[in-house]
Chain A
Amino acid sequence: MSTTVVSLISMGTMGALFALGLAVASKKFAVETDPRVDEIEEVLPGVNCGACGFAGCRSFAEGVASGKAPTNGCPVGGARVAKLVAEILGVEDQGSAGRKVAQVLCKGGHEEAKRRGDYMGPQDCRIANAVQGGDKGCSYGCLGYGTCASVCPFDAIVMNENGLPVVLEDKCTACGKCVAACPRDIIVLVDEVQGVHIRCRSEELGRAVRSVCSVGCIACRRCEKACPTGAITVEDNLARIDYDKCINCRKCVEVCPMNTIEAQEGKPVIKKKSAS
């Protein structure tokens, strides 16, 4: 009995003393922080992925509070988080910044594109490209050794049987690792809503393209003429699309003789495009 009481009193007193000391210290060493930073951090996903360009969710929250980052800067949180952050700061919600996904700009796999030799080295596009410019007939096309798939930290790229990478868009986080790894700069990050892509990077003349690939752009300019918004221009023997203008109308897809331009399913026509 007495032991219990003594234990309780001594431990309780010690605890109270330390608590008092810490309370004083916390006043003395209090760090002035913007209370909004904590509130913003609360609503962020909290995975510290760094996709916003800041070192983590905390840094991003500080950036938003000090006006260095946009309220919709968190790509993982999307529109929901953007709205909450805007509410905390008392500013107008700017909506989701739009998720980006990787797009592979080459359609020439084993079936469509010719090879000009046999490459027996390590199965890595970067190495293959360094050996005499790769074994592909087209010096712009995908080498097909799957370096993009192997560097993807989210398993969002798989190589299909035709030797071309396929982006699984629901897994893609637009981290840009594949873009950096591809020795031929075939992969680009594009707003998820964009559904029409010119899948060719070749700046060769039409005849040279035809001789090595059955789906390459021959710069016939039919897409350029068909486009109602002026989103496509042909430059250096290659049709190029301006995603800021493209509305997914698919008129270019219908007229392309080489089937280079591809429309993705499930991406509807964009009705209104704000000038940005």
Chain B
Amino acid sequence: MNLLVILLSAILVNNFVLVRFLGICPFMGVSKQVETALGMGLATTFVMVVASAATWLIQWFILEPFGLPFLQNVAFILVIASMVQLVEMFLHKTSPSLYRSMGIFLPLITTNCAILGLAIMAVQGGYTFIESVVFGLGGGLGFTLALVLLAGIREELRFSDVPKPLQGAGIAFIVAGLLSLAFSGFAGLV
């Protein structure tokens, strides 16, 4: 039950993008097409799950026992960067078209604050290993959900009559704001 609460809370109530406002950069950058957004979301989800597992192990078996909690950021970024490199190689091999459409945003997952934020929050929340991984999965799925939602709306927006000053990024930001407002409706659920 507790795991389900953590999962749903990470996906909906405390959605990393729309409620905590972490990882806005790929949220705006890779949300022009649903397919690309989905690929980006899944890549980020993978990194989040693996990173949350790895950072939990590092935090409780290396940093805490040796009295090095101050190295948290450095150690976590090290893990995340390695994972992103792995995903990048994997994608380059398996799906060159997705690799190309994600472009610079793929290596930029490294600096996606949603992932570092997730790792740090999992530590602060005092989660167990399983809870950490579920939290990572929820965070990733929530990120994917936000990206795909915005991408779907932006695909439709291409055919609508948007006032000239708002065309492009302007209307996208407004839509993102409205989405965020909608998600605030989940507040207090958990």
Residues B93 and A11 in contact, CB atoms below 8 Å apart: no
Closest residue of chain A to B62, judged by CB? A10
- For the complex, give the distance between the alpha carbons of A161 and B66 in Å: 79
Interface size on A, residues (CB 8 A): 15
A-side contacts of B68, CB under 8 Å: 3, 6-7, 10
B 76-97 to A, binary, CB cutoff 8 A, 1 in contact else 0: 0011001001100110110010
Number of B interface residues in the complex (CB < 8 A): 19
Q: How many Å lie between the Cα of A22 and that of B110 in the bound state?
A: 15
How far is A164 from B96 in the complex, measured between Cα atoms in Å?
48
Contact of B1 with A by CB under 8 A: no
A47 CB within 8 Å of chain B: no
Interface of A is mostly: helix
**Complex Cα distance A26/B85, Å?**
9
Q: Is the CB of A7 within 8 A of B71?
A: yes
Question: Which chain B residue has the least Cβ–Cβ distance from A10?
Answer: B62
Whole-angstrom distance between the alpha carbons of A120 and B68 in the complex? 76
A25 to B86, CA, bound (A): 7
Write out the residue numbers on chain B whose beta carbons fall within 8 Å of the beta carbon of A6. Answer: 66-68
Residues 1-58 of A at the B interface (beta carbon under 8 Å)? 3, 6-7, 10-11, 14-15, 18, 21-22, 25-26, 29-31
B98 on the A face (CB < 8 A): no
Q: How far is the CA of A18 from the CA of B79 in the complex (A)?
A: 8
In the complex the two chains form, is A31's CB within 8 Å of B92's CB?
Answer: yes
Instruction: Name the residue on A nearest B68 (C-beta).
Output: A7
Question: Would A31 and B71 be within 8 Å (CB), given that A18-B79, A22-B82, A22-B85 are in contact?
Answer: no
Which residues of chain A from 85 to 123 have any CB-CB distance to chain B below 8 Å in the complex?
Answer: none
Cβ of B75 within 8 Å of any chain A Cβ, yes or no, is: yes
The answer on a CB contact under 8 Å between B93 and A14 is no
B58 within 8 A of A: yes
* Chain A nearest Cβ from B73, distance in angstroms: 12
In the complex the two chains form, what is the Cα distance from A25 to B74 in whole Å?
A: 23
Evaluate contact between A18 and B66: CB separation under 8 angstroms.
no
Bound-state Cα–Cα, A248 to B75, Å: 70
Question: Quick check: B78 and A14 within 8 Å, CB to CB?
Answer: yes
Is the beta-carbon distance between B85 and A14 smaller than 8 angstroms? no
- A215-267 interface with B by 8 A CB criterion: none
Verify B78–A18 contact, CB threshold 8 A.
Answer: yes
When C-beta atoms are compared, the residue in chain A nearest to B91 turns out to be: A29
Contacts of A29 in B (CB 8 A): 89-90, 92-93
Residues of B near A3 (CB, < 8 A) are: 67-68
Partner of B75 from the list A11, A22, A30, A31 (CB cut-off 8 Å) is A11
CA distance A26 to B89 in the complex (A): 7
A30 to B90, CA, bound (A): 9
Q: What residue in chain A is nearest B86 (Cβ atoms)?
A: A25
Task: Compute how far the CA of A29 lies from the CA of B85 in the bound complex, rounded to whole angstroms.
Answer: 11
Using Cβ atoms and an 8 Å threshold, which residues of chain A touch B93?
29-31
Query: B13: shortest Cβ distance to chain A, in Å?
Result: 33
Q: Which residues of A contact B71 (CB under 8 A)?
A: 7, 10-11
**What residues on B are CB-neighbors of A10 within 8 Å?**
62-63, 66, 68, 71
Give complex CA distance A6, B89 in Å: 32
- Within the complex, the shortest CB–CB distance from B82 to chain A, in Å, comes to 4
In the bound complex, residues from chain B placing their C-beta under 8 Å from that of A30 are 93
A18: chain B residues within 8 A (beta carbon): 78-79, 82
CB nearest neighbor in B for A27: B89
Which residues of chain A are near B75, meaning CB under 8 Å?
A: 11, 14
- Complex formed: what's the CA distance from A196 to B168 in Å? 43
A-chain residues with CB within 8 Å of residue B90 when the two chains form the complex? 25, 29
Q: How far is the CA of A54 from the CA of B73 in the complex (A)?
A: 42
Complex interface: chain B residues within 8 A of A7 (CB): 66, 68, 71
> Can you show 11 pairs from A to B with CB atoms below 8 A apart?
A6-B66, A7-B66, A10-B66, A10-B68, A14-B58, A14-B62, A18-B79, A25-B85, A25-B89, A31-B92, A31-B93
Q: Give the 9 A-B residue pairs with the shortest CB-CB distance, closest first.
A: A18-B82, A29-B89, A29-B93, A6-B66, A25-B86, A31-B92, A10-B62, A22-B85, A25-B89
Which residues from chain A sit less than 8 Å from chain B, CB to CB? 3, 6-7, 10-11, 14-15, 18, 21-22, 25-26, 29-31
With A6-B66, A15-B78, A25-B85 already in contact, 11 other A-B pairs whose C-beta atoms are closer than 8 Å? A3-B67, A6-B67, A10-B63, A14-B58, A21-B82, A21-B86, A22-B89, A25-B86, A26-B89, A30-B93, A31-B92
